[in-house]
Amino acid sequence: MLKLVTYFLLVSLFFSTLSLPTIAQEPQIDEEPAVRITTELIQFDVVVEDGKGRLVKDLKAEDFEIYEDKKLQEISNFSFIDLAPNKTSQTKPTPANQINQKANPEAKTLQTTPRNQVGRTIALVIDELGIPLDSIQSVRDSLKRYVDNRVEPTDLVAIIRTGANIGVLQQFTSNKQQLYAAINEVKGNLTRLNRAGADSIQAVSTAPLDNPDDNANTFSSSFLASLRELKFIVQGLKTLPGRKSMVVFSGVFPAFDTAGIGSSQLSTINDAPATPGSRNSRVGAINSTNNGLVTDAINTLIETANRASVVCYTVDARGLQPSLSLSARDDFGPDSTVGTNSSNDVERKVQGAIEGRANFQIESQQGMRFLAGATGGIFSVGNDTGIKTTLDDQEGYYLIGYTPQETTFNAKNPYHKLSVKVKRSGLTVRTRVGFYGVEDKEFKALTPAEELVNAAISPFSAKDVYVQLTPLFSYDKKAGSLLKSLIHVNCKDLTFVDEANGVKKANIEMLVYTFGKNGNLISKVSQTSDVRVKEEKYKEILDKGFAIILNTPAKLEGTYQVRAVVRDTTTKKLGSAGQLVTVPKIKNDNLALSGVTLAEERLKKENPENSSEVELITLATRQFKSGSLIQYNYHIYNPKLDGTKKPKLKLQTVLYKEGKQVFSNDSALDSKGQQNLQDIQAGGKFVLGTELPAGKYTFQVIVTDLVNKSRSQSQEIDFEILGK
């Protein structure tokens, strides 16, 4: 149910439903892409390193020679793009199961990175369909270390899984809480589509495969699914600015027939003899039809990545395997110890197992090596090594371009190989291996409906219309978990036109999405409205704006996103906002807190006839003047009761400014008068002292259950003290 409230009741809004538009795949972008293939310019990115693997930044155009199909080209465009991040100190979010003692006022805010300030854009893809289950925890640990220590405020990062629905939770962001939520969903694939199995080293068995053809088809289906999802991710990256990186963590990513893109630089793979029970047979056992499909999928992925200015880095998530890969689980057959040649038989099988596993390790990496080499990336073994290698390679690159010959776009010779040489000795060059002579498609202008959708889900905020979003968790035993989303629109950013009888009117479109913990869309509201106000109240609506409350059921615990966008249909100006909100686990009597609301207490006294409307606006804006008396409220769910059937709860309130504590207060809960001891209403008041400077603050409540001291939960909300 959508409820819209303004500061006064003379404003009328009339809603009509809009059909939900399709998310556009190719929006217009302002930045020049790193890779361009047109009849006027062939441009691509080049990385140059010294003998120690360090980036070389001081080269000039005359230091390079570039070749198309071994023919020297004259360089017409040349520049170096420096991406070395500025080191900044950030408040590290604490995991959700711990108390955040240094609350971050922007920990839940999405869409914070301005588009023109993006440094590195990195998609971390966990190929769950190709990683053994025993390697998943290592991947999770490495990703957490990366988010803890290496994510910069100007980075755009996404953590995406193959074999799972790719939702908006995995969108590009620098928000660490959102990235932690995505990491928590990395759990491995337990279905038959996991082509890597349970263990990095599978035990040898004399038992034959149940159905080799069926296993081969399942394997190829899994591999094709991974390749399709990687292509989908690359297409999403295409819309983002600059040179992008896709880091693929996998374990079984073979290359079959590599004829096509870059085939001259990489050897084709020959099937090795299959050791009984090894997965060597699974790598090579692709029928001819699927082999061709895999080849086409790999080549299409590479061409798509090159066109989208995406560099692919690949990582063997299994890490380094021991040289002697034998275990007590290996079974070389009962006949191994029988007969005069039993020792020779065992020796032969052991040697075959070792060789087979070594061959399998190499073969299962070839696709990763191929993908990285063809797009200018690097192949690594081990998760931490792969992440470090990728980040170290993000400090900058050269853009080199030349004017193509007419034959470049001759259909008789569609594929063209690129090569780059550096005249200075001791340096190495990495770049893309080639391109097809097909001119890049021009980006189509978005339709108004597509523009609205893209603004809602974009990692970049639109600020021409100021929109404030406050999602709050609440719980009711009958209705279950609920998200209450408060949305405030600043009317000063809207354009009002005069109508008859002294009425002023503005027209807006609004789109609100709520995404579940896996990034799946669970709710959408699409509205258009006329905002009409009489002239004598016009100044008031400019000062106060209006607020909307939107209730959305949240059946599963986890991290949710609410994203809202507003457009002034007269000027086409856009405003957007996004916030994360956590739905805790309520079942099994877990201690939990609702969201915290802040309101200015004196407003009720000054405007008794409009107190509910005024309070809703203050709840939504979260903006207060110095010296205000603030009322805060929240609910406590499922506290344990002591022997007297009463709860014993310690309540703490803390105020932070930029992560530094301003004040705190401790008290004990007085449960007298509470009607439901499993849903306790809590709250209080505090004054914003006049000595507090203007700026953003965070108010936090911490509740500790003294009957069970191990149970402690917190909630926080950010707000702003306005300048004088």
| pLDDT tens digits, 289-333 | 456 788 888 889 999 999 989 999 999 998 876 544 555 454 555
* pTM listed for this prediction: 0.69
Distances in whole angstroms, Cα of residue 425 to Cα of each of 76, 80, 549: 23, 20, 66
Whose CA is closest to 505, among 487, 529, 488?
529
Assigned fold of 120-392? Rossmann fold (3.40.50)
Tokens of 337: 């110890």
Q: How far apart are CA 209 and CA 94, in angstroms?
A: 47
Burial of 300 (0-12, 13-18, 19+ CB in 10 A): middle
The whole-angstrom separation of Cα 128 and Cα 135 is: 10
Q: What is the pLDDT of residue 169?
A: 41
Q: What count of other Cβ atoms lies within 10 Å of the Cβ of residue 318?
A: 25
Strand partners, 633: 597, 683
Tell me the mean pLDDT in the region 621-646: 91
Question: Domain 591-724 class?
Answer: mainly beta
Is the fold of 120-392 the same as that of 591-724? Answer: no
What is residue 589's three-state secondary structure?
coil
Number of residues that make up the chain: 724
β-bridge partners, 66: 73, 420
Q: Is 36-84+396-436 in CATH node 2.60.40?
A: yes
Cβ atoms of residues 325 and 260 within 8 Å: no
Mean pLDDT for the chain overall:
78
Q: In what order do the strands lie in the sheet with 379-381?
A: 156-161, 121-126, 244-250, 310-316, 379-381
How far apart are alpha carbons 715 and 598 in whole angstroms?
Answer: 12
Residue 114: predicted pLDDT: 61
pLDDT of 6 reads 38
- Structure tokens of 232? 């989908």
Confidence check: pLDDT of 677 > 80: yes
What SS3 state is found at 110?
strand
Q: Residues 400-412: pLDDT tens digits? A: 999 998 889 887 7
CA–CA gap between residue 394 and residue 274 (Å, rounded): 40
Identify the CA nearest to 22 among candidates 629, 417, 601, 524: 524
Residue 144's region, left for phi above 0, alpha for psi from -120 to 50, else beta, is alpha
Q: Which two tokens stand for residue 14?
A: 């009339």
CB 440 within 8 A of CB 37: yes
Helices (H), 598-713: 602-606, 611-621
Q: Which residues contact 651 (CB under 8 A, 6 or more apart)?
A: 666, 667, 668, 669, 682, 701, 702, 703
* Residue boundaries of the structural domains of the chain: 36-84+396-436, 120-392, 591-724
User: Which two structure tokens, joined as six digits, stand for 163?
Assistant: 């074999």
What pLDDT digit, counting tens, does each position of 445-481 carry?
778 888 888 888 777 778 899 999 999 999 988 888 9
